[in-house]
Amino acid sequence: MDREPPEPPENPEKCVGIDVGILTYAHDTDGTAVGSLDLSDERDRLEREQRTLSRKEHGSNNYEKQRRRVAERHADLRRKRRDFLHKLSAYYAREYDLVVVEDLNVKGMMESPSNSRNTASAAWRTFLSLIEYKCEREGTHFVAVNPRGTTKECAACGVSTDKPLWVREHSCPACGFEADRDANAAWNILSRGLEDVGVGHSEGTPVETALPVDTSVSAKRVVEAGSPTLKERTASAVSE
Ligand SMILES: [Zn+2]
């Protein structure tokens, strides 16, 4: 890496760690859990047009017309996914001074089940590179950290416990700290990012100060509102 290390953020409160996953698309240290985008309607429509295409005589006018319909449905899918990722990444770059995510070169291989591995890690990669790009544009510090152990480690005491993918709760046998699995991972991601920029443990881990209540947000709301939160700041910025 020949890039300059980012300046430490002036206000550590405006820092966020984001864990990306399969069941919850993104879970951040402010307690926002954004659901995965539901594209089942778009997929159904695409499949219907593909079935119709398969019944057309290859090379006929009707075949060409139908082929274009299939291409349009493909474009709908891509547009909707891109819109969601653009809005969510723009939100993080705009709202925070420091955004910490996982380095997916490691994460993609470790966490996704093999059948959805490529799809999930490709979507994460797009999302995280959009965040990086938008952070650069907004002057927001961006850090990608090694995700190894972020789900197993306790964000409060650092003790590692094995946790299969289906265990959604973090419950620490060493210190008793309990949190959503992804929230715990997001805290670890943020801690590693703060360490990277040199504002690490002097202020104590974020977990020791205050844990936000997790809020589930649908991907649909992100697409419609342009952001996963309805904070006053965001609301006034939008209405201006
Ligand atoms: Zn613990």
**Global pTM value:** 0.81
- For residue 213, the CA-to-ligand 1 centroid distance in Å is 19
pLDDT tens per residue, range 108-167 = 555 555 545 566 677 888 899 999 999 999 999 999 999 889 999 999 999 999 888 788
38 is catalytic: no
Distance (Å) from CA 171 to ligand 1 centroid: 8
pLDDT tens for 15-72 read 999 999 877 889 999 999 999 888 999 999 999 999 999 999 998 999 999 999 999 9
Q: Is residue 4 part of a domain?
A: no
Q: What is the pLDDT of residue 97?
A: 93
Instruction: Identify the CA nearest to 66 among candidates 50, 78, 81.
Output: 50
Position 6 in a domain: no
Question: Is 153 designated active site?
Answer: no
Residue 89 in any domain: the answer is: yes
Task: Output the pLDDT for position 202.
Answer: 44
* Cα 171 versus chain centre, distance: 23
- Where does the pLDDT of residue 231 fall: very low under 50, low under 70, confident under 90, or very high at 90 and above? low
Answer yes or no: are the C-beta atoms of 19 and 193 closer than 8 Å. no
- Residue 21: its pLDDT value, please? 84
Q: Which residue in 95, 102, 111, 196 is the catalytic one?
A: 102
Residue 160 Cα to ligand 1 midpoint, Å, equals 8
102 is annotated as an active-site residue: yes
In eight-state DSSP terms, residue 115 is G
List 42, 95, 153, 182, catalytic entry:
182
Least Cα distance to 220 among 74, 37, 65 occurs for 37
| The predicted structure's pLDDT at residue 24 | 84
**Residue 38 phi/psi, 5° resolution?**
-90, 110
pLDDT given for residue 157 in this prediction: 93
Per-residue pLDDT tens over the stretch 64-106? 999 999 999 999 999 999 999 999 999 999 999 999 999 876 5
Model confidence at 229, pLDDT cuts 50, 70, 90, reads: confident
Q: Domain range holding 151?
A: 12-239
Residue 37 domain-assigned (yes or no): yes
- Work out the number of other CB atoms within 10 angstroms of the CB of residue 62: 13
Residue 209 — pLDDT band, cuts 50, 70, 90?
Answer: low
CB 220 within 8 A of CB 214: no
Structure tokens at 216: 């589930």
Specify the pLDDT at position 237.
Answer: 41
Given a contact cutoff of 8 angstroms between Cβ atoms, the answer to whether 12 and 194 are in contact is yes
How many structural domains comprise the chain? 1
Domain-embedded: residue 43? yes
The reply to whether 1 falls in a domain is no
pLDDT confidence of residue 204? 47
Q: What is the dihedral of CA 19, 120, 107, 102, to 10 degrees?
A: -40
- Greater confidence, 169 or 205? 169
Residue 221 lies inside a defined structural domain of this protein: yes
Flag whether 59 is in a domain: yes
Q: How far is the CA of 201 from the centre of ligand 1 (A)?
A: 16
User: How would you classify residue 103: left for phi > 0, otherwise alpha for psi between -120 and 50, otherwise beta?
Assistant: beta
pLDDT at 230: 63
Task: Read off the pLDDT of residues 176-208 as tens digits, 9 standing for 90 and up.
Answer: 999 999 999 999 999 999 998 887 544 445 555
For 19, list phi and psi in degrees, rounded to 5.
Answer: -100, 130
